[in-house]
Amino acid sequence: MSGRGKVPAIGIDLGTTYSCVSVWQHNNVEIIANDQGNRTTPSFVAFNDTERLVGDSAKNQAAYNPTNTIFDVKRLIGRRASDEIVQKDMKLWPFKVEAGSDDKPKILVTYKGEEKEFSAEEISSMVLAKMKRVAETFLGSDVEKAVITVPAHFNDSQRQSTKDAAKVAGLEVLRMINEPTAAAIAYALEKRACEMNVLVFDIGGGTFDVSVISIDREGHIQVKATGGDTHLGGEDFDNRMVKHFVEEIKRKHKEDISSNQRALGRLRVHCERAKRIVSTAVQTRIDIDCLVNGKDFSLKFTRAKFEEVNMDLFNKCMEPVEQCLRDANMNKDSIDEVVLVGGSTRIPKVQQLLQELFNGKSLCQNINPDEAVAHGAGILAAQLSGMGDEAVQGLELIDITPLSLGFKVKGDLMYVLIPRNSPIPTKKEDTFCTSFENQTVVNFDVYQGERDKASENYLLGRLELSGFPSAPRGEVKFNACFEIDADGILNVSAREITSGVNKTIKITHNGSLSKEEIEKMIEDAERYKFEDEAHLKKVMSHIALDNFVSKVQASLKKMGLNEKDLKDLDHQIAETIEWLDENPDAEEGELEDKKTELYNLCTQKKLSHEAKASLNSLFDSVNFER
Ligand code: AMP
């Protein structure tokens, strides 16, 4: 199958710190570089007095605009504001997050001089829309469909919110898959016709996943078990470094920067850079000018110190590996390959601990750890849209659900209907009855997690059944049905069966977006896109006039003008330059008028034939719209 003529679907790895997009082309997966030529794009969105920035441009100004530069939104999506993890993160983020209605976190920024609120879904949608645009520019056509990856350990609420974000970005989600599974697809296609058990160790900027996956000769990829931590990654290592330096600066230099967001932001950027360096070198220096009170700092940082401040976190990464092997009923020897995925697997200590755990086995780094997930998503996107060769079409994927699903029963106990590591899609039903005399309302509180005590797990939402006849305890019966689709998203329904009245109610998640909210966000996203485009046009027009003026200025002497005309034009050029400096927000029309004014003034002078021709071609070549 060639796929020619079909609208391509893309694969997006929506990462905590970086995102990556891919597409199937010329019988291969292509990782698409962004407008800066980078194959991964920072998952950053920034707001300032004039514009909204997404990606590299947002990250590049983060240190100077810390309170309005949003990152890490993947740590927030689908969580409640009161969530312990969110509360902890909020203390570290330079931007403001508050609890909104339904305990949903809202991100507060100042944009064009006004205070604005955004949900995590909206910020995520801006990153997704950026990745969509990157692909559209590359392909020269619109893109509407995508496979999007999520951490294997994401719960239902986090998955649903990610899907909502995609909708707001104008993307139809063909499938949502787990990140390590996507990496395994990339690996399986690389190792065509091999039968093996693979352990994917995936640690990026904010999340950590481990999956044990079996691949057979026919291209069947079966996830056997998965584990990890949705809140552990490179940013935690950066935070430890920041904490270390804040203390050192206090101790050695008697300066306290712990509440100086700008200084902390700059320090964080330098720490992340130094962290990457000590993955290859054994030591480096962090030089920061004017960090606080006009003081410059030159701080030594060694790999040993990096390991010391993070050792407990590195060790924490090894526990889920052993658990995952136990869940898959395998031992270390049955693993043929340990595949490294995610930027943080470049840390030598992480590699060393993992290698020791597997009794010295060498680790597989054949696939680029930054791109493996997007690579696999691109393959699946090709398959689901009917593209790709036989190997792609032959791939068959059986994924699993990472967390047990059930509801609360008497005594705050968790009644599990679908245990974790169950293959998906799946459907489970059970029958219940009323537990009180004359009960006319039944609530099913749906939880996800592994604790026996239901309230210690994550409350996904409540299902309320009412309107059935009152009867003695135990006489009214219900059927509850839990269904997980291929995206790993849960649908719960319940039916009262005793009176013959079938009543099915779909669960609404705590904090999940309503249809109206999504529609409003789509409208807002369109408005922001329009504003961004208008701003870009204005900037380009400004640059175009600036270019025109400087080119005319450069060719003045060659125009054969008399002294008076030369002086006149020189003066006019100086005025135009001044006007440009004073009017950075000039509208396109005004800029066009200024250009014509300067052109007319030139043509009124006595010009040589060649000068006229070159002026005309200059005038035509400087376009305001690009
Ligand atoms: P990912 O989400 O897979 O793009 O991984 C991003 C994370 O990997 C960030 O926290 C980076 O700081 C981290 N990272 C990237 N390269 C390196 C490296 N050479 N050494 C240590 N960490 C790295």
Task: Please give the distance, rounded to the nearest whole angstrom, from the Cα atom of residue 131 to the centre of ligand 1.
Answer: 19
| Dist. CA 109–CA 115, nearest whole Å | 6
Ligand 1, closest atom to CA 234?
A: 10
In the DSSP assignment, the letter for residue 558 is: G
Residue that finishes a domain, picked among 253, 285, 309: 309
Report yes or no on 541 lying in a domain: yes
Same domain, 499 and 540: no
For 115-143, write each residue's pLDDT tens digit.
999 999 999 999 999 999 999 999 999 99
495 plus 432 within the same structural domain:
yes
Ligand 1 atom nearest to 279, measured from its CA: 20
Domain end, chosen from 284, 309, 334, is at 309
Which residues participate in catalysis according to the annotation? Answer: 13, 74, 179, 202
Listed residue (569, 491, 498) closest to 156, CA to CA: 491
pLDDT tens per residue across span 416-457: 999 999 999 999 999 988 888 888 888 888 999 999 999 999
In a domain, 571, yes or no: yes
Q: Cα of 120 to ligand 1 centre, how many Å? A: 22
Whether 37 maps to a domain, the answer reads no
Quote the domain boundaries for residue 299.
234-309
**Of 159-168, 205-214, 608-617, which range is least confident?**
608-617
Residue 546 sits in the same domain as residue 616: yes
Residues 591 and 545 in one domain: yes
Question: Going by CA atoms, what residue is nearest to atom 1 of ligand 1?
Answer: 204
Tell how far the Cα of 204 is from the centroid of ligand 1, in angstroms: 6
Residue 412 belongs to a domain: yes
Rounded mean pLDDT of 99-103? 89
The CATH number of the domain where 612 resides is what? 1.20.1270.10
In a domain, 353, yes or no: no
- Domain-located, residue 448: yes
pLDDT tens for residues 530-575?
A: 888 888 888 888 888 888 888 888 877 777 777 888 888 888 888 9
Question: Are 499 and 412 within one domain?
Answer: yes
The model's pLDDT over 388-413, given as tens digits with 9 standing for 90+, comes to: 888 899 899 999 999 999 989 888 99
Ligand 1 atom 8: residue of nearest CA: 343
Q: Distance between CA 568 and CA 572 in Å, rounded?
A: 6
In a domain, 127, yes or no: no
Of 162-166, 422-426, 500-504, the one with minimum mean pLDDT is 500-504
**Looking at the structure, do residues 425 and 496 belong to the same domain, yes or no?**
yes
Instruction: Select from 239, 344, 350, 371 the residue to mutate for testing ligand 1; criterion: most ligand atoms less than 8 Å from CB.
Output: 344
If you measure from the C-alpha of residue 365 to the centroid of ligand 1, how many angstroms do you get, rounded to a whole number?
Answer: 15
Question: What's residue 254's pLDDT?
Answer: 94
Q: Are residues 483 and 542 in the same domain?
A: no
- Residues 568 and 616 both lie in one domain: yes
pLDDT score of 626? 37
- Give the distance (Å) from ligand 1 centre to CA of residue 343: 3
Chain mean pLDDT for the chain: 90
Q: What angle do CA 110, 79, 159 make, to 5 degrees?
A: 110
Q: What is the pTM of this model?
A: 0.85
Instruction: Please count the structural domains in the chain.
Output: 3
- Look at residue 70 and tell me whether its pLDDT is greater than 80: yes
CB contact set of 72 (below 8 Å; sequence gap of 6+): 16, 17, 89, 93, 206, 235
Is there a domain that residue 71 lies in? no
Do 547 and 605 reside in the same domain of the chain? Answer: yes
Which residue type sits at 283? Q
Closest atom, ligand 1, to C-alpha of 235: 10
Secondary structure in 3-state letters for 203-218: ECCCCEEEEEEEECCC
pLDDT average, residue stretch 447-470? 86
State residue 501's pLDDT score.
60
pLDDT at 543 (0 to 100): 84
- R_g of the chain, CA atoms, integer Å: 29
Q: Quick one: pLDDT at residue 3?
A: 42
Protein residue whose Cα sits closest to atom 21 of ligand 1:
276
Residues 474 and 549 in one domain: no
| Residue with CA nearest ligand 1 atom 15 | 343
Give the pLDDT confidence of 16-26 residue by residue, as tens digits.
999 999 999 99
pLDDT band, very low/low/confident/very high, at 512 (cuts 50, 70, 90):
low
- For residue 472, give the CATH number of its domain: 2.60.34.10
- What mean pLDDT comes out for the span 513-540? 82
State pLDDT tens for residues 299-311.
999 999 999 999 9
Q: Per-residue pLDDT tens for 209-237? A: 999 999 998 889 999 999 998 889 999 99
pLDDT band at 511 (very low <50, low <70, confident <90, very high): low
Residues 566 and 499 in one domain: no
Of 309, 325, 360, the one marking the end of a domain is 309
